[in-house]
Amino acid sequence: MNINDLQAFVTVAETGSFSLAAEALYLTQPAVSKRIAALEQGLGSKLFDRIGRTPHLTEAGQALLIHARRILAEVEDSRRAIANLDSSIKGQLKLATSHHIGLHRLPKVLQQYILDYPDVELDLNFMDSEQGCRAVEHGELELALISLPPAGSTQLEMIETWVDRLVLTVSPTHPLAQEPVINAEVLGRYPAILPARGTYTRELIDRQLGLGTINTKLETHYLETIKMMVSVGMGWSLWPENMLEDELKPAQGSHIVVERKLGIVHHPKRTLSNAARAFIQYCLAAD
């Protein structure tokens, strides 16, 4: 099997399109089709059913995809291990960051890193923490800088870099702002505006608050949406303490704080590049 043919196959499978795969690989669409055809001929099995313009993996294609990803990851790992013999810090570093970290924690790190290592080509992707974890698990990215998943929920290596204090937050006009003491019973009377279920942050909130069924008015991935709805008095939320502004106030009668760990995940079986190792050290040294 040809490595380039396998790369074309995986890219078509992941993009769901021959034309998008061609763009990603900087090839023409006929060239991608030729590589897939060569792979099918060599294996003696059809890998895609062409239904309209959308390719669908056959049973053989689904079986190959698992092995192809592993093979490509091992090839890339070998290249990285050899490159690491040279102590210079250069080459491509593919990583993800959540929007919150990318906007509020990462700028100073990136600014210094880019100045110190101009020969590193950063491929930075903004995505949800859960999506970033999956991308690292599948070998698509070397690092992800995210809200860390709960302990025991992943086989990835986790490196804690920051702790986010999420405090109970309301609009100054919300009834909770006038409550002298806020406990679980008082909190349960009012609707909440919270991160979506299934996210690491929501799982952490549900577990630490122990409120059972929370009266949730809205669940969303977008911090700006949460901020707007809380600021106009539509509900309470748990908001990063370092992002509090005039329109959002911590509830004075509350001692409720949820601590969210932020950090880096990487695959334990993947050799880290010199560029990745340096990036991790810069994050650990940051405030």
Q: Given a cut of 80, is residue 150 above it in pLDDT?
A: yes
Q: What fold, for 3-83?
A: Arc Repressor Mutant, subunit A (1.10.10)
pLDDT for 97-129, tens place per residue?
999 899 889 999 999 999 999 999 999 999 999
What's the average model confidence in pLDDT over 60-65? 92
Chain mean pLDDT for the chain: 87
Structural domain spans, the chain: 3-83, 91-162+262-285, 164-258
pLDDT for 263-280, tens place per residue?
999 999 888 899 999 999
Which 3-state string (H, E, C) describes the chain?
Answer: CCHHHHHHHHHHHHHCCHHHHHHHHCCCHHHHHHHHHHHHHHHCCCCEEEECCEEEECHHHHHHHHHHHHHHHHHHHHHHHHHCCCCCCCEEEEEEECHHHHHHCCHHHHHHHHHHCCCEEEEEEECCHHHHHHHHHCCCCCEEEEECCCCCCCCCEEEEEEEEEEEEEECCCCHHHHCCCCCHHHHCCCCEEEECCCCHHHHHHHHHHCCCCCCEEEEECCHHHHHHHHHCCCCEEEEEHHHCCCCCEECCCCCCEEEEEEEEEECCCCCCCHHHHHHHHHHHHCC
**What per-residue confidence (pLDDT) applies to 53?**
77
What's the average model confidence in pLDDT over 138-150? 91
Q: What fold, for 91-162+262-285?
A: D-Maltodextrin-Binding Protein; domain 2 (3.40.190)
CATH number at 164-258: 3.40.190.10
**What per-residue confidence (pLDDT) applies to 248?**
64
Do 3-83 and 91-162+262-285 have matching folds? Answer: no
pLDDT for 43-57, tens place per residue?
999 999 987 778 999
